[in-house]
């Protein structure tokens, strides 16, 4: 028995809907697909990504500006300058953006620029951060810890919700195991279990789960087939040149064809994927960049 008072499923039909923009919401019939590079590298890079994805069924952009790198000598992210890049593409391409928050000190700045704050695997049990995110005023994308049990994951979400923020989306991104052919082991059983034991939307990150681009598409399909509410997938204009996670990055072309190939799978399980708006689609900006 998991002792979660607020995120536990109390009624079989209760489903939390997490809205991140006027048109993008997690937990409904329509799946939410988030795409973009591991790391924001420049405005030009993010504009290329957004131009390619804006007319596709990808509804939101990702890109890290504060990066949790294994080595302190690896690129740590663009920081505030990267937030400015995200704000610009968000406004120019009318797509909501998601980025990772690593510390309490970053919350305020990040929350003013982006639509959803990601808590990475390495911080899933940073309890002070989780408590502070209860007051962030923006939806939270909570990734499962590298070696977290389902109970620990659920209780991490409970921290955010019990501190005042009901808008939490869970993300299964693979867990550590003995095998190292894939980067992690994608735990699809956790997706099914989390859908049963909580009322929160659950999405899947096949990119960090497998760590190899050629394995991403089949697992994305499997995630949709087993009931995930969406996906977050890494892609890059020049995948091999990604400053981080190059091996798992899809090309922008492969990203768009992957999303298209998910449509019949979604349909088979009673879900939909947003209609492609087509080449030449020009949205009205939602706000002006300061």
Nearer to ligand PEP, 143 or 271 (CB): 143
Bridge partners of 168, per DSSP, are 140
Is residue 114 within 8 A of residue 99, CB to CB? The reply is yes
211 is a contact residue toward ligand PEP (CB under 6 A): no
158 is a contact residue toward Mn ion (CB under 5 A): no
208 is a contact residue toward ligand PEP (CB under 6 A): yes
CA dist., res. 25 & res. 22, Å (int): 8
Give the ranges where the chain is alpha helix by DSSP (H).
43-53, 80-93, 104-113, 127-133, 150-162, 188-197, 206-210, 213-225, 252-268
CA dist., res. 70 & res. 130, Å (int): 22
Nearer to ligand PEP, 27 or 64 (CB): 64
Query: Which residues, numbered 42-61, are part of the site for ligand PEP (CB under 6 A)?
Result: none
Among 27, 77, 120, 139, indicate the residue that binds ligand PEP (CB under 6 A): 120
Closest distance of CB 151 from ligand PEP, Å: 19
Angle at 149 between CA 145 and CA 150, to 5 degrees: 100
167 is a contact residue toward Mn ion (CB under 5 A): no
CA dist., res. 227 & res. 216, Å (int): 17
CA dist., res. 126 & res. 143, Å (int): 12
Among 59, 121, 198, 242, indicate the residue that binds ligand PEP (CB under 6 A): 121
Spatial CA neighbour of 209 closest among 199, 201, 217: 217
Q: Which stretch binds ligand PEP (CB under 6 A): 78-86, 120-128, 211-219, 264-272?
A: 120-128
Closest distance of CB 66 from Mn ion, Å: 12
38 is a contact residue toward Mn ion (CB under 5 A): yes
CA dist., res. 97 & res. 42, Å (int): 15
**Positive or negative torsion for Cα 276, 282, 288, 289:** positive
245 is a contact residue toward Mn ion (CB under 5 A): yes
Question: Which whole-number Å values give the CA distances from 169 to 189, 194, 199, in the listed order?
Answer: 17, 11, 10
Among 64, 77, 211, 237, indicate the residue that binds ligand PEP (CB under 6 A): 64
Closest distance of CB 38 from Mn ion, Å: 3
Closest distance of CB 264 from ligand PEP, Å: 27
Bridge partners of 77, per DSSP, are none
Q: Which stretch binds ligand PEP (CB under 6 A): 49-57, 107-115, 118-126, 267-275?
A: 118-126
- Compute the residue count for the chain: 290
116 is a contact residue toward ligand PEP (CB under 6 A): no
Query: Which residues, numbered 134-153, are part of the site for ligand PEP (CB under 6 A)?
Result: 143
Nearer to ligand PEP, 235 or 263 (CB): 235
Query: Which residues, numbered 6-45, are part of the site for ligand PEP (CB under 6 A)?
Result: 38
Q: Which stretch binds ligand PEP (CB under 6 A): 26-34, 49-57, 116-124, 126-134?
A: 116-124
139 Cα distance to chain centroid: 11
Closest distance of CB 18 from ligand PEP, Å: 18
Given the structure tokens 């299964």, which residue do they identify? 172
Instruction: Tell me which residues touch ligand PEP (CB under 6 A).
Output: 38, 64, 68, 120-122, 143, 173, 205, 208
Instruction: Tell me which residues touch Mn ion (CB under 5 A).
Output: 38, 245
């Amino acid at each position: 028995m998991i002792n979660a008072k607020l995120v536990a499923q109390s009624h079989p039909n209760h489903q939390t809907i997490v809205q991140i923009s006027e048109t993008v919401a997690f937990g409904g019939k329509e799946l939410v697909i988030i795409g973009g590079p591991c790391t924001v590298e420049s405005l030009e890079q993010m504009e290329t990504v957004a131009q390619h994805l804006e007319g596709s069924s990808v509804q939101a952009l990702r890109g890290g500006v504060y990066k949790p790198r294994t080595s302190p000598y690896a690129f740590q992210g663009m920081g505030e300058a990267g937030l400015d890049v995200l704000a610009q593409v968000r406004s120019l391409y009318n797509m909501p953006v998601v980025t990772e928050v690593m510390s309490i000190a970053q919350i305020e700045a990040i929350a003013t620029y982006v639509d959803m704050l990601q808590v990475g695997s390495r911080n899933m049990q940073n309890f002070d951060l989780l408590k502070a995110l209860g007051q962030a005023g923006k939806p939270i994308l909570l990734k499962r810890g590298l070696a977290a049990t389902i109970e620990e994951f659920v209780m991490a979400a409970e921290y955010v919700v019990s501190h005042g923020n009901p808008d939490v989306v869970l993300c299964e991104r693979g867990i550590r195991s003995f095998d190292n052919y894939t980067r992690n082991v994608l735990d699809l059983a956790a997706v099914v279990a989390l859908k049963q034991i909580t009322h929160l939307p659950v999405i899947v990150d096949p990119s960090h789960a497998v760590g190899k681009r050629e394995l991403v598409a089949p697992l994305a399909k499997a995630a949709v087939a087993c009931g995930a509410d969406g996906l977050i997938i890494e892609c890059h204009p020049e995948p091999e040149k990604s400053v981080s996670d190059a091996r798992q990055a899809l090309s922008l072309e492969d990203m768009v064809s992957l999303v298209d190939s998910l449509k019949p799978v979604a349909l088979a399980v009673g879900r939909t994927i947003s209609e492609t708006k087509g080449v030449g689609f020009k949205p009205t900006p939602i706000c002006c960049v300061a």
